[in-house]
Amino acid sequence: MELIDLSSEIFAGMQVHSSQPPVVVEQWNDHGQKVTIGKTVHSSASVRLSMGDHSGTHVDAPRHFDPAPGAASIEQLPLERFFGPGLCLDLSHVPLRHAVSPHELQEAVERSGELLSPGDTVLLHMATNIRLRGTPAYETDFPGLSPDAVHWLADSGISLFGVEAMSPAPAGELNLQAHMICAERGITHIECLDNLERLVGRGRFTFIGFPLKIRGGTAGPMRAVAVFP
Ligand SMILES: [Zn+2]
User: What string of DSSP letters covers 4-42?
Assistant: EE-PPPP-TT----TTSPPPEEEEEE-TTS-EEETTEEE
What is the model's pTM?
0.95
- Examine residue 14 and state whether it is found in any structural domain, yes or no: no
Domain that holds residue 142: 58-228
Q: What is d(CA 143, CA 145) in angstroms, rounded to the nearest whole number?
A: 7
Q: What is the distance in A from the centroid of ligand 1 to the CA of 12?
A: 18
pLDDT tens for the chain, residues 1 to 229: 999 999 999 999 999 999 999 999 999 999 999 989 999 999 999 999 999 999 999 999 999 999 999 999 999 999 999 999 999 999 999 999 999 999 999 999 999 999 999 999 999 999 999 999 999 999 999 999 999 999 999 999 999 999 999 999 999 999 999 999 999 999 999 999 999 999 999 999 999 999 999 999 999 999 999 999 9
In the reported structure, the alpha carbon of residue 166 is separated from the centroid of ligand 1 by a whole-number distance in angstroms of 7
Spacing, Cα 191 to ligand 1 middle (Å): 6
What is the CA(219)–ligand 1 centre distance, in A? 6
Could you tell me how many helices (H) and strands (E) the chain has, helices first? Answer: 5, 14
Q: How far is the CA of 71 from the centre of ligand 1 (A)?
A: 15
Q: How far apart are CA 139 and CA 170, in angstroms?
A: 10
C-alpha–C-alpha distance, residues 163 and 32, integer Å: 42
- CATH number of residue 73's parent domain: 3.50.30.50
- Ligand 1 center from residue 92 Cα (angstroms): 22
For residue 31, report the distance from its CA to the centre of ligand 1, in Å.
36
Q: Is residue 193 part of a domain?
A: yes
Residue 44's pLDDT is 94
Domain count, the chain: 1
Distance 222 CA to ligand 1 centre (A): 12
**Cα dihedral sign, 2-209-27-136:** positive
Query: For residue 174, is it within any domain?
Result: yes
SS3 per-residue string spanning 49-81? EECCCCCCCEEECHHHHCCCCCCCCHHHCCHHH
Distance (Å) from CA 48 to ligand 1 centroid: 22
In a domain, 21, yes or no: no
Distance from Cα 39 to the centre of ligand 1, integer Å: 49
* CB distance 122 to 112 below 8 Å: no
Interval between CA 34 and ligand 1 midpoint (Å): 40
User: If you measure from the C-alpha of residue 223 to the centroid of ligand 1, how many angstroms do you get, rounded to a whole number?
Assistant: 15
CA atoms within 13 A on the CB side of 221: 14
Tell me the CA–centroid distance for residue 168 and ligand 1, in Å.
9
The answer as to whether 151 is a domain residue is yes
Spacing, Cα 229 to ligand 1 middle (Å): 30
Residue 177 domain-assigned? yes
Q: Give domain status of residue 51, yes or no.
A: no
For residue 75, is it within any domain? Answer: yes
Helix (H) or strand (E) holding 109, with range, is: helix 102-112
